[in-house]
């Protein structure tokens, strides 16, 4: 490469055989490699016999390092951006650098490859024609439940990343807010202990041993059943009960479920969303 180009190079999420020929070639040609963790990426580069100048680029230094990388590009040199695993900018650093490069007219080229979310979706058995990738849910329960309530009415399959130590808590909140939807938990994709656990939220919870969950986790949630006419009736019922103000949010949802015939979890999710919208 002899002209200024920012290449976004996807790297394996576990199995090194998933590295593409093009990715190896690009990493061998660029003038600089910007890596989320240079120590981690050095092992990958060494495996493929690549020796290049490297610099770190991660969440806490991206403003400072981003300007230095842009200066390298301004000098007509080529740069490759890689994350610890998977596709850069997908729940990984890179958005700001790409935005700034585009603003300066610097070509940005994606080098496709592994992505945990897409890999999990393809093998999930859940609808894949429409889906929403929402990254990591909030770590605190209250915010996480509000987040799930916001997601509850979206069409298609919901894709989330989650830390292994929070997997059980997040599944429990899903059962409370979303009800017994079908879910798939995909862990350690492409690695020796790859596993996809399928079933209702409760069934998956019974199969998950929190102490043994390791590595990257993708949670996929099937779309809810919500006819448009029923949704409108539920919303009107909830608004009427909430305006009355005599019931708690939980009791309001319970009453609305009895009136409309929807599940309590669905009514609670809708009530929580209306409450949050009113507070904005």
Architecture of the domain made up of 6-114: 3-Layer(aba) Sandwich (3.40)
Q: Which residue has the higher pLDDT, 31 or 242?
A: 31
**pLDDT tens-digit profile of 208-217?**
876 566 778 9
Q: Is the pLDDT of residue 33 over 80?
A: yes
Q: What is the pTM of this model?
A: 0.79
pLDDT band at 63 (very low <50, low <70, confident <90, very high): confident
Q: What residue spans define the domains of the chain?
A: 6-114, 117-221, 228-279
Q: Report pLDDT for 3.
A: 81
Residues 6+ apart with CB under 8 A from 126: 157, 182, 184, 220, 222
Mean pLDDT of the chain: 91
pLDDT, tens only, 209-258: 765 667 789 999 999 875 544 455 888 899 989 888 888 999 999 889 88
Does domain 117-221 sit in CATH 3.40.50.11030?
A: no
Buried b (16+ CB within 10 A) or exposed e, 44-75: bbeeeebeeebeebbeeebeebbeebbebbee
The predicted-structure confidence for 144-156, as pLDDT tens digits, reads as follows 999 999 999 888 9
Lowest mean per-residue pLDDT among 71-80, 188-197, 250-259: 250-259
pLDDT above 90 for 61: no
């Amino acid at each position: 490469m002899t002209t200024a180009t920012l290449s976004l190079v996807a790297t394996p999420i576990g199995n090194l055989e998933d590295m593409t020929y093009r990715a190896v070639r690009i990493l061998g040609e660029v003038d600089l490699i910007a890596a989320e963790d240079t120590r981690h990426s050095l092992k990958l580069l060494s495996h493929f016999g690549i020796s290049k100048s490297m610099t770190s680029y991660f969440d806490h230094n991206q403003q400072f390092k981003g300007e230095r990388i842009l200066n390298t590009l301004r000098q007509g040199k080529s740069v490759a951006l890689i994350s610890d695993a998977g596709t850069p900018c997908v729940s990984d650093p890179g958005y700001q650098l790409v935005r700034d490069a585009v603003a300066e007219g610097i070509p940005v080229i994606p080098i496709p490859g592994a992505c945990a979310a897409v890999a999990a979706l393809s093998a999930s058995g859940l609808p894949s024609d429409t889906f929403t990738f929402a990254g990591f849910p909030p770590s605190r329960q209250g915010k996480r439940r509000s987040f799930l309530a916001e997601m509850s009415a979206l069409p298609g399959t919901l894709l989330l990343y989650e830390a292994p130590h929070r997997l059980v808590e997040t599944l429990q909140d899903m059962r409370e807010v979303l009800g017994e939807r079908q879910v798939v938990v995909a862990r350690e994709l492409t690695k020796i202990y790859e596993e996809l656990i399928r079933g209702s939220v409760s069934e998956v919870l019974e199969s998950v041993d929190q102490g043994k969950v390791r590595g990257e986790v993708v949670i996929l949630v099937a779309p809810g059943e919500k006819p448009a006419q029923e949704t409108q009736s539920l919303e009107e019922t909830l608004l009427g009960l909430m305006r009355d103000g005599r019931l708690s949010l939980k009791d309001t949802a319970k009453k609305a479920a009895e009136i409309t015939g929807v599940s309590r979890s669905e009514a609670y999710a809708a009530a929580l969303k209306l409450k949050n919208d009113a507070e904005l």
